[in-house]
């Protein structure tokens, strides 16, 4: 009798489960953006479900640091959600090549994206696009505008002005000139090297030359950013070696530091935390009058799990993700994540407007280490974290760090050999 009861109970739950899906298709979204949970649940999902009865959405994020590992295990086990949030470049390309992501080239919404926006989620020859681009992030410096007014400082435009401003803040002594630590390493590379670097290697020009093997990491344009980073440590707070990323954020939003090397994703957090006026300036150029370059990094996209049983519904949703409605909803709910589609989107947040206005003045590029160059072992991006942190700590000279990166890259990347 006992086994029968158990069997009946199991059968009952199976029936109940299929009963629920028979009416509505529920799409599950895998993501690393657990900070966005409220925005998805309160704004994005209701907006989509109102227009598309019969399709329900579930947003199930995991922790950013674990996302890639968790997602890969889930895909291999066949338990991943229908929609996959795509990291840019090789992480997603590997998923596509392993057959986990479906080809979305024929999706009608794809026509609304410029080629550079799609480049992060395409095969090397550009023949297949497998994720719908959602947003990019722009690098620059956010500053405490009240502190600048108090000390009579202006936004620096050149590197010399930048260090003059830092010296003035240090002289005054009331603020830590710059909030950054080397404990977590990635800020040194992402908000340091790849923030200020494009002005030296001339954005796309240098990045493509590096990929083609025409320039090397030991060339002056690639060593110069390290030279600037090596000067930063005088302006960081006491004990910056053990300062973590959240420490830096808090130092700035508590008003104890004047300048924060930033990515635009900080905007919404800083808006709620800081009670002073904030401004932003793009990375200063080495020589006055030079053309400026910004890192406008394609960061996040949405793809379709090739094994999803609800592909039709998922495609409907992905088309909506490429629409003007989604772009405006997402960009304004998450100021600092800028839409990549060619739709004209109005941003309301002043700081976000400031960041996005640089697209008009400066040439955009993406982080130098992301496309192709981080495909092998040692991984250039991860090595750059270590090298940038080492240079800021003064533990390695800019030239040695660059030479080490070049050796590592040349050890597996043919065009650099």
Partner 1 sequence: MSERRPVRWHIVVFLAPAVIVYTAVMILPLFATLRLALFAEVEQTRVFVGLDNFRTLFGDPRWSASFWNALGNNFWFFAIHMAVQNPIGIALAAILSSPRLRFAHLYRSAIFVPTILSFVIVGFAWKLILSPIWGIAPNMLDAIGLQKLYAPWLGLESTSLTTLALISVWQFVGIPMMLIYAALLSIPDEILEAGECDGITGLSAFWKIKLPLILPSIGIISILTFVGNFNAFDLIYSAQGALAGPNFATDILGTFMYRTFFGFQLQLGDPHMGSAIATAMFGIILIGVCIYLFGIQTRLRRYQF
Q: Output phi, psi for 103, to 5 deg.
A: -75, 125
If the CB atoms of residues 305 and 390 are measured against partner 1, the closer one turns out to be 390
Q: Is 32 in the site for partner 1 (CB under 8 A)?
A: no
Q: Is 181 in the site for partner 1 (CB under 8 A)?
A: yes
Cβ contact 283:195 at 8 Å: yes
Alpha-carbon distances of 344 from 291, 325, 326, 327, 339, rounded to whole Å: 25, 10, 12, 9, 9
Determine which residue in the list 16, 23, 238, 272 makes contact with partner 1, applying CB under 8 A.
238
Residue 322 token pair: 């490429």
Determine which residue in the list 96, 162, 222, 370 makes contact with partner 1, applying CB under 8 A.
370
Q: Which residues pair with 261 in a beta bridge?
A: 141
The gap between the terminal CA atoms of the chain, to the nearest Å, is: 72
Q: Is 379 in the site for partner 1 (CB under 8 A)?
A: yes
Determine which residue in the list 16, 22, 50, 65 makes contact with partner 1, applying CB under 8 A.
65
Determine which residue in the list 183, 233, 271, 332 makes contact with partner 1, applying CB under 8 A.
183
If the CB atoms of residues 106 and 125 are measured against partner 1, the closer one turns out to be 125
The span of 93-101, 147-155, 308-316, 326-334 binding partner 1 (CB under 8 A) equals 93-101
Q: Is 92 in the site for partner 1 (CB under 8 A)?
A: no
Closest approach of partner 1 to the CB of residue 105, in Å: 21
If the CB atoms of residues 256 and 343 are measured against partner 1, the closer one turns out to be 256
Determine which residue in the list 177, 195, 381, 413 makes contact with partner 1, applying CB under 8 A.
381
| 81: nearest Cα among 297, 290, 313 | 313
Q: Is 234 in the site for partner 1 (CB under 8 A)?
A: no
User: Judging by DSSP bridges, how do beta strands 55-61 and 131-144 pair with one another?
Assistant: unpaired
Q: Cα(271)–Cα(252) distance, rounded to whole angstroms?
A: 12
Q: Cα(412)–Cα(145) distance, rounded to whole angstroms?
A: 46
Determine which residue in the list 7, 54, 239, 394 makes contact with partner 1, applying CB under 8 A.
239
Q: Cα(339)–Cα(134) distance, rounded to whole angstroms?
A: 6
The reply to whether omega before 378 is within 30° of 0 (cis) is yes
Q: Is 8 in the site for partner 1 (CB under 8 A)?
A: no
Helix, coil or strand: residue 63: coil
Determine which residue in the list 184, 205, 219, 349 makes contact with partner 1, applying CB under 8 A.
184
Q: Output phi, psi for 170, to 5 deg.
A: -65, -40
Q: Which residues pair with 338 in a beta bridge?
A: 136
Residue 23 burial by Cβ neighbours in a 10 Å radius (0-12, 13-18, 19+):
exposed
Q: Is 177 in the site for partner 1 (CB under 8 A)?
A: no
The reply to whether omega before 66 is within 30° of 0 (cis) is no
Determine which residue in the list 213, 393, 403, 415 makes contact with partner 1, applying CB under 8 A.
393
Q: Is 68 in the site for partner 1 (CB under 8 A)?
A: yes
Determine which residue in the list 85, 129, 228, 243 makes contact with partner 1, applying CB under 8 A.
243
Any idea what DSSP says for residue 108?
A: G
Determine which residue in the list 45, 61, 62, 186 makes contact with partner 1, applying CB under 8 A.
186
Q: Is 130 in the site for partner 1 (CB under 8 A)?
A: no
Closest approach of partner 1 to the CB of residue 96, in Å: 11
What is the contact surface with partner 1 in residues (CB under 8 A)? Answer: 65, 68-69, 72, 89-91, 94, 97-98, 181-186, 237-244, 247, 250-251, 369-370, 374, 377-379, 381-382, 385-386, 389-390, 393, 395, 408, 411
């Amino acid at each position: 009798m006992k086994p029968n009861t158990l069997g009946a109970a199991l059968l009952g739950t199976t029936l109940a489960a299929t009963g629920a899906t028979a009416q509505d298709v529920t799409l599950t979204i895998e993501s690393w953006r657990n900070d966005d949970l409220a925005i998805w649940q309160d704004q994005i999902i209701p907006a989509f479900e109102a227009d598309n009865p019969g399709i329900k959405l579930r947003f199930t994020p995991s922790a950013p640091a674990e996302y890639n590992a968790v997602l890969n295990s889930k895909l291999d086990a066949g338990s991943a959600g229908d929609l996959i949030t795509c990291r840019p470049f090789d992480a997603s390309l590997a998923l596509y090549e392993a057959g986990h992501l479906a080809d979305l080239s024929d999706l009608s919404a794809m026509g609304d994206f410029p080629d550079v926006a799609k480049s992060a989620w395409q095969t090397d020859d550009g023949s297949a696009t497998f994720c719908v681009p959602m947003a990019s992030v722009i690098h620059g410096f956010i500053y405490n505008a009240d502190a600048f007014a108090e000390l009579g400082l202006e936004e620096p435009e050149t590197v010399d002005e930048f260090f003059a401003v830092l010296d003035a803040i240090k002289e005054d002594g009331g603020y830590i000139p710059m909030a950054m630590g080397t404990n977590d390493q990635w800020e040194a590379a992402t908000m340091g090297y790849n923030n200020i670097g494009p002005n030296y290697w001339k954005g796309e020009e240098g990045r493509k030359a590096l990929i083609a093997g025409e320039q090397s990491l030991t060339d002056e344009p690639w060593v110069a950013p390290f030279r600037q980073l090596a000067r930063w440590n005088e302006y960081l707070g006491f004990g910056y070696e053990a300062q973590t990323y959240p420490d830096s954020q808090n130092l700035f939003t508590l008003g104890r530091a004047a300048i924060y090397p930033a990515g635009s994703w900080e905007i919404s957090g800083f808006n709620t935390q800081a009670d002073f006026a904030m401004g932003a300036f793009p990375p200063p150029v080495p020589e006055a009058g030079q053309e400026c370059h910004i890192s406008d990094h394609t960061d996040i996209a949405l793809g379709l799990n090739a094994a999803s049983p609800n592909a039709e519904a998922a495609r409907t949703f992905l088309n909506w993700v490429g629409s003007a409605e989604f772009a405006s909803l997402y960009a304004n709910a998450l100021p600092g994540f800028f839409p990549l589609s060619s739709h004209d989107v109005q941003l309301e947040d002043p700081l976000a407007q400031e960041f996005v206005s640089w697209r008009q003045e400066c040439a955009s590029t993406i982080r130098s280490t992301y496309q192709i160059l981080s495909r092998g072992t040692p991984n250039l991006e991860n090595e750059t974290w270590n090298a940038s942190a080492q240079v800021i700590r003064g533990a390695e000279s800019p030239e040695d760090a660059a030479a080490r990166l070049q050796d590592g890259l040349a050890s597996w990347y043919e065009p650099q050999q």
